[in-house]
Chain A
Amino acid sequence: MKLFLDMFWYFKQEKWRYIFGIILLMCSSLMSMVPPYVVGIIVDAIRTHTLTSAALIKWMSLLVASGLAAYGFGYGWRMYIFGSSMHLAKLLRDRLYKHFTTMTAGFFGRRRIGDLMAHATNDIRAVQEAAGDGILMLVDSLTMGAMVIVSMSVIIDWRLTIIALLPMPIMAWAVNYYGSLLHKNFHKAQAAFSELNDRVQENISGVRVIKAFGQEDAEKENFRQQSEDVVNKNIKVAKIDALFDPTITFIVGLSYFLTLLFGAIFVVHHSITIGELTSFTLYLGQLVWPMLAFGILFNIVERGRASYDRIQALLKIKPEITDQPEALEAIPTGDVHYAIHTFSYGESNASVLEAIDFTIKQGETIGIVGKTGSGKSTLIKLLLREMDCHDGDILIGGTSIYRYTMHSLRSAIGYVPQDHFLFSASVAENIAFAKPEASREEIIRAARLAHIHEDILNFKEGYETVVGERGVTMSGGQKQRISIARALLMNPEILILDDSLSAVDARTEEAILHSLRHNRENKTTFITAHRLSAIQHADLIIVLEDGKIVERGTHATLMTDDKWYATMYRRQQLESFVAQGGMSS
């Protein structure tokens, strides 16, 4: 029950909803005390032949009124209590989302998206259930149970009440016991199911091998056996699950029996009337739910508790990268100077970058090349402050990038990442992602610069075509060019192309590079690439190897140096020649 204490901030925040909800819930329970009572009175009146039509009308009107009131109360408390739990779910979801947006690359690198999704869906649902059903069951099992017992003992007879209640604790115990038993077996059944899932997964991924070796029939037989295992484990679950209802029926039946037996004795001794005995049995029927609720309550709270803790743990994680106090709001501009001594992910790990020192003048283009894993992307990510370098600095216009707010730093940078990620929105919205208020002219201009305009016009709905699963399927090259247009629309001080021309053909690459040169006067451009043709016109080219600069210069000087760059360049020339089927390029 500590969960309810932990969530008290919310109950406090929504105290009126909860207070009203709980009051209405209690009123609704109170209303359900009326029918058994009236039944008892009428039965006695009929038995003693004292019933008048006026009395009958009076009591029946009371019944109808209580029924209507119960309907109203029942509607009301549900809206308040279940409604509040929905508000809570929304609130937590918003908080998580906001929290995710403040987390840095390191955080996302350590966690799988599937797990984060599970927190935002399953865990929130469990908390929502605890705040809704949990509160309902807590209040209802206590108040309704108390009301019924009080009604039985005060209106009718407390001795009979005790006798009739004797078997009831067995029920609460049984429900709880079955619950834990069910839980265990349910886990086994789930495990069998996920094994089945793995098997299907393996079967689908290995479809070629299976077909090549003619294993279809054997696979079918395996699957049949494994699905049989799932069935057997589920039958075990069913066997426990099927215990609930009959047990309840039996125990309630036992209570009825005791009630009738001892009730009859009381009737004979004139302690109670037959009418009272009748209403007593009806009250007894109303005790089933509070007993059940009490058993279920623990399960719900337990699950809610675990989920709530997971959500809180997630929310407590502090963002790794934040603005310095009194950071500059101005947008950085000027020469970019890298002065990094060493950089590594985490304290103990080997350094990823070492002795990186170069300056790129405003308006120039720098090309960064090197093998996969040589540190190209890390170099770029430091500039974007996806992570911070603690041994060294990067300066723009003579001022450390760490002195700017992240907002102003990032305003200066247009970033085209390696994995051209597009959002499921229209092409126009994707291009205008960084500047949603951009006019159609701006969007088209950016698209033209990225040489994607013609392609877009060929899409079914032009700029309104939706990207993503539901929409048009685009080639990698088209996606890359849209991401380039997205960055160009910002008209940024610094443009970063992180290996983002890899999927476009040589001619388009040349055309894009050409338009960049002519439309970005006085603006700096970073290009990393595997294909050297993308950077051969850069003002400065640096070659990275194991995080160190091993060559630097222009295309011409590097070719004369005749080291890795020159070898690679000639190799790629030959490769493109072969790729074109031996035709000279």
Chain B
Amino acid sequence: MNENYPRENLTRKHVLRRLLRYTAPHKKQLLFAFIILILATGADVLGPIVAKIFIDDFLTPRRFDGQPLTLLAVSFVCLYVFTALFHYLQLINFQKVALKIIQQLRVDVFNKVQHLGLSFFDKTPGGSLISRITNDTEAIKELFVTVLSTIVQSTVFLIGIFIGMFALNVKLAAYCLIILPVLFVLMYLYRRVSSVIFRVTREKLSQLNARLNESLQGMAIIQAMRQEKRLRKEFDHINTEHRDASLKNIKLNSLLLRPAVQLIYVLGIVLVLSYFGIQSFHLSVSIGVIFAFVNYLDRFFEPVNSMMQQLMNFQQATVSAERVFGLLDETELAPTQEGQSAHRISAGNIEFKNVSFSYDGKTEVLKNINFTARPGETVALVGHTGSGKSSIINLLMRFYPIEKGDILIDGKSLKTFSDQELRAKVGLVLQDPFIFAGDVKSNIRLNNASISDEAIKTSAQFVQADRFIAKLPKGYDEPIGERGSTFSSGQRQLLSFARTMAIDPKILVLDEATANVDTETEEAIQTALEKMRKGRTTIAIAHRLSTIQDADQILVLHHGEIVERGNHQELLSQKGLYHKMYLLQQGEAEVTA
């Protein structure tokens, strides 16, 4: 995968520490799980010891007293029942905590993203952002759910086995400790070599997929230019490289994983047998102890195998964690209230004072914009694509921070209003009405609990959306699929009008749609717009000049500057740019330029 998204370079150690910090709220549950784990391990480890007692105290001397023997048999079975039960409980508890931790991490990233500025969204592809929140956290889930819990469980189990061994025979158990450094060396070796090979394999795989994806996209060109053979050869080349890298991976796993661990197991058996064998030359040896030791060794290596297998996943998870923390550390926040003032928007007077703006800090898209919209007035913005209309709206909505100049609402700087006040009093109608999955009601109300069902109906009636809603089988409860694709674009627009009217804003910001809608809906839209503007200060981007002929003020923008201003009649009589645009839309072709 290509990662264009700039991320902080966090060291791996740092990442792990930050991840572990997420366990803090779950200390109690973790402790509980850990205690159960120790109980389970204890019961597990006791099994061979009971077997040893049976062999040494009953079987070898052929002494089968009924009661103690029954007791032993019962306790043997009970041990296995407990082991199974405790293991089940500890597994579930660890998993629950791990899943909760991931949920918290996910919620944290999501919450963070909610407060990032639009400038951040502009330069970050949506896909990569989504994958931070879901896929990367999912990869980290593996770390907690599988990797860390396997390591903890296996470590405890190994310690348990050693305790059992020491209880049986201190000297031999001490000898067996030698297995540990051998295993550590093996793990260290594996990790070192595998990290390189693993990375190469993954790189090759992503190259392979990228090439395939690209070829599928550009197949028309490949075929038109007769390059099929060459690209097949090139693909085969990458494919071969990927296979060879994978083969190396298999080779490494075969050399250092299971077969190697199996060999160490056999050597362990040799150690134990030799020890007892040599001892038996001049001492008597407990058969039960040999039995128990051999059985311990038999079970010693399964956890070792699982731990080694998890080492690979560990790396994948840390890469994901680096990305997630990179996003959590993002500093490009959305502009918000400066200071604590409780200013209210009451009249709705808007003033742009010497506003200049640039998205990238280089090219100015707005140059020294000045205008005033008095309460209840409509100011229309017209101009070609890229003239700066949308930027004016973006600044007024406080989507981007104002760098030069200021916007005043009712005489107070836009920066001083609280988010709540601003969002409640300034209503935006977007060109592309975004419809959420849910139902009609929830799309009008959004998540604003203070809007009653009555209010929803009133606002739908107000914008004449009630007519088409009434025709829906379930009316206001009609479910809406993703993006509202079952509705026409006109209907979607009416819905978004109702949504804005439901909050009854003082100021209306309109981004008129260019999309063609059927005449009936178009009429409804125009009537609705007219009604909505009444009594509200309105800033409107107009694509169709016919809809803004009654605007109090029309600003003609070109390259970020206001080049003409006035009402419809004044502008027409100027015979300037507005005049030409008007003619163009009237379908009048004859113009002498």
Interface residues of A (CB under 8 A from B): 32, 35, 38-39, 42-43, 45-47, 49, 51, 53, 56, 59-60, 63-64, 66-68, 70-71, 74-75, 78-79, 82-83, 86-87, 89-90, 93-94, 97-98, 100-105, 108, 113, 116-117, 120-121, 193, 196-198, 200-216, 218-224, 227-228, 230-231, 234-235, 238-239, 241-243, 245-247, 249-250, 253-254, 256-257, 260-261, 264, 267-268, 274, 278, 281-282, 285, 384, 386, 407, 410-411, 413, 415, 417, 421, 423-424, 433-434, 436, 469-470, 486, 490, 567, 570-571, 573-575, 577-579, 581-582, 584-585
Given A216-B114, A220-B107, decide whether A250 and B224 contact each other with a Cβ distance below 8 A. no
Decide if A220 touches B110 in the complex (CB within 8 Å): yes
Decide if A97 touches B235 in the complex (CB within 8 Å): yes
Docked Cα-Cα span, A35 to B60, in Å, equals 23
Decide if B250 touches A86 in the complex (CB within 8 Å): yes
Decide if B281 touches A205 in the complex (CB within 8 Å): no
Stretch at the interface among B252-260, B367-375, B458-466: B252-260
In addition to A116-B216, A575-B584, 7 A-B residue pairs with Cβ atoms within 8 Å of each other are A60-B277, A66-B266, A74-B258, A215-B447, A224-B103, A238-B99, A573-B593
Decide if B59 touches A246 in the complex (CB within 8 Å): no
Decide if B294 touches A278 in the complex (CB within 8 Å): yes
Decide if A570 touches B430 in the complex (CB within 8 Å): no
Whether a CB of chain A sits under 8 angstroms from the CB of B115 is yes
Docked Cα-Cα span, A103 to B419, in Å, equals 55
Q: Closest residue to A321 on the B side, CB-wise?
A: B223
Given A101-B228, A116-B216, A211-B397, decide whether A46 and B88 contact each other with a Cβ distance below 8 A. no
Main secondary structure of the interface of B (DSSP, over half): helix
Whether a CB of chain A sits under 8 angstroms from the CB of B84 is yes
A47 to B: closest C-beta gap in Å? 5
Docked Cα-Cα span, A520 to B152, in Å, equals 74
Given A86-B250, A113-B217, A282-B294, decide whether A101 and B232 contact each other with a Cβ distance below 8 A. yes
Whether a CB of chain A sits under 8 angstroms from the CB of B62 is yes
Decide if B270 touches A64 in the complex (CB within 8 Å): yes
| Residue from B60, B80, B503 in contact with A257 in the complex, judged by beta carbons closer than 8 Å | B80
Q: Which of B256-289 contact A (CB under 8 A)?
A: 258-260, 262-263, 265-267, 269-270, 273-274, 276-278, 280-281, 284-285, 287
Whether a CB of chain A sits under 8 angstroms from the CB of B27 is no
Docked Cα-Cα span, A51 to B275, in Å, equals 13
Docked Cα-Cα span, A573 to B590, in Å, equals 10
B89-110: CB near A (< 8 Å → 1, else 0) gives 0011001100110110011001
Q: How many Cβ-Cβ contacts under 8 Å join chain A to chain B?
A: 382
Decide if B60 touches A274 in the complex (CB within 8 Å): yes
Q: Closest residue to A49 on the B side, CB-wise?
A: B280
Docked Cα-Cα span, A59 to B155, in Å, equals 32
Decide if B434 touches A205 in the complex (CB within 8 Å): yes
> Which of B100, B221, B247, B427 gathers the greatest number of chain A CB atoms within 10 Å?
B221
Decide if B563 touches A239 in the complex (CB within 8 Å): no
| Residue from A32, A74, A261, A433 in contact with B227 in the complex, judged by beta carbons closer than 8 Å | A433
CB-CB < 8 A to A209: which residues of B?
428, 430, 434
Whether a CB of chain A sits under 8 angstroms from the CB of B176 is no
CB-CB < 8 A to A71: which residues of B?
259-260, 262-263
A262 to B: closest C-beta gap in Å? 12
| Residue from B129, B209, B223, B593 in contact with A585 in the complex, judged by beta carbons closer than 8 Å | B593
A147 to B: closest C-beta gap in Å? 16
Interface residues of B (CB under 8 A from A): 2, 4, 44, 47, 51, 54-55, 58-60, 62, 64, 73, 76-77, 79-81, 83-85, 87-88, 91-92, 95-96, 99-100, 102-103, 106-107, 110-111, 113-115, 118, 121, 126, 129-130, 133-134, 138, 145, 208-210, 212-228, 230-232, 235-236, 239-240, 242-243, 246-247, 250-251, 253-255, 258-260, 262-263, 265-267, 269-270, 273-274, 276-278, 280-281, 284-285, 287, 290-291, 294-295, 298-299, 334, 384, 397, 399, 419-420, 422-424, 426-428, 430, 434, 436-437, 446-448, 482, 499, 503, 558-559, 563, 576-577, 580-581, 583-584, 589-591, 593
Decide if B235 touches A74 in the complex (CB within 8 Å): no
> Which of A59, A93, A193, A386 gathers the greatest number of chain B CB atoms within 10 Å?
A93
CB-CB < 8 A to B558: which residues of A?
581-582
Given A90-B243, A198-B437, decide whether A56 and B277 contact each other with a Cβ distance below 8 A. yes
Docked Cα-Cα span, A32 to B265, in Å, equals 11
Decide if A567 touches B589 in the complex (CB within 8 Å): yes
Decide if B216 touches A261 in the complex (CB within 8 Å): no
| Residue from B84, B209, B290, B436 in contact with A246 in the complex, judged by beta carbons closer than 8 Å | B84
Decide if B87 touches A249 in the complex (CB within 8 Å): yes
A32 to B: closest C-beta gap in Å? 8
Given A227-B103, A278-B290, decide whether A213 and B83 contact each other with a Cβ distance below 8 A. no
Decide if A574 touches B287 in the complex (CB within 8 Å): no
Q: Which 6 A-B pairs have the closest CB atoms?
A: A218-B447, A214-B423, A67-B266, A253-B80, A74-B259, A242-B91
CB-CB < 8 A to B138: which residues of A?
193
Decide if B88 touches A417 in the complex (CB within 8 Å): no
CB-CB < 8 A to A121: which residues of B?
209
B137 to A: closest C-beta gap in Å? 9
Docked Cα-Cα span, A86 to B208, in Å, equals 14
B69 to A: closest C-beta gap in Å? 9
Docked Cα-Cα span, A209 to B511, in Å, equals 12
CB-CB < 8 A to A574: which residues of B?
580, 583-584, 589, 591, 593
Decide if B281 touches A260 in the complex (CB within 8 Å): no
Decide if B92 touches A436 in the complex (CB within 8 Å): no
CB-CB < 8 A to B273: which residues of A?
38-39, 42, 56, 59-60, 63
Decide if A384 touches B224 in the complex (CB within 8 Å): yes
> Which of B130, B295, B384 gathers the greatest number of chain A CB atoms within 10 Å?
B130
| Residue from B215, B223, B263 in contact with A68 in the complex, judged by beta carbons closer than 8 Å | B263
Docked Cα-Cα span, A71 to B83, in Å, equals 32
CB-CB < 8 A to A256: which residues of B?
47, 51, 80
Docked Cα-Cα span, A121 to B1, in Å, equals 14
| Residue from B80, B267, B276 in contact with A64 in the complex, judged by beta carbons closer than 8 Å | B267
CB-CB < 8 A to A577: which residues of B?
580, 591, 593
Given A260-B51, A574-B591, decide whether A434 and B228 contact each other with a Cβ distance below 8 A. no
Docked Cα-Cα span, A401 to B505, in Å, equals 65
Decide if A219 touches B447 in the complex (CB within 8 Å): yes
Docked Cα-Cα span, A433 to B113, in Å, equals 41
Docked Cα-Cα span, A249 to B302, in Å, equals 13
Given A53-B281, A208-B430, A219-B447, decide whether A74 and B254 contact each other with a Cβ distance below 8 A. yes
| Residue from B76, B114, B216 in contact with A108 in the complex, judged by beta carbons closer than 8 Å | B216
Decide if A78 touches B88 in the complex (CB within 8 Å): no
Docked Cα-Cα span, A579 to B558, in Å, equals 9
CB-CB < 8 A to A210: which residues of B?
114
Given A56-B278, A274-B287, decide whether A39 and B294 contact each other with a Cβ distance below 8 A. yes
Docked Cα-Cα span, A554 to B271, in Å, equals 98
Decide if A98 touches B434 in the complex (CB within 8 Å): no
Docked Cα-Cα span, A567 to B121, in Å, equals 42
Decide if A202 touches B134 in the complex (CB within 8 Å): no
B422 to A: closest C-beta gap in Å? 8
CB-CB < 8 A to B253: which residues of A?
78
Q: Closest residue to A98 on the B side, CB-wise?
A: B232
B358 to A: closest C-beta gap in Å? 18
Docked Cα-Cα span, A100 to B217, in Å, equals 11
Decide if B276 touches A257 in the complex (CB within 8 Å): no
Decide if A469 touches B263 in the complex (CB within 8 Å): no
Decide if A211 touches B118 in the complex (CB within 8 Å): yes
B267 to A: closest C-beta gap in Å? 6
Q: Closest residue to A568 on the B side, CB-wise?
A: B589
Decide if B593 touches A100 in the complex (CB within 8 Å): no
Decide if B83 touches A246 in the complex (CB within 8 Å): yes
Decide if A578 touches B584 in the complex (CB within 8 Å): yes
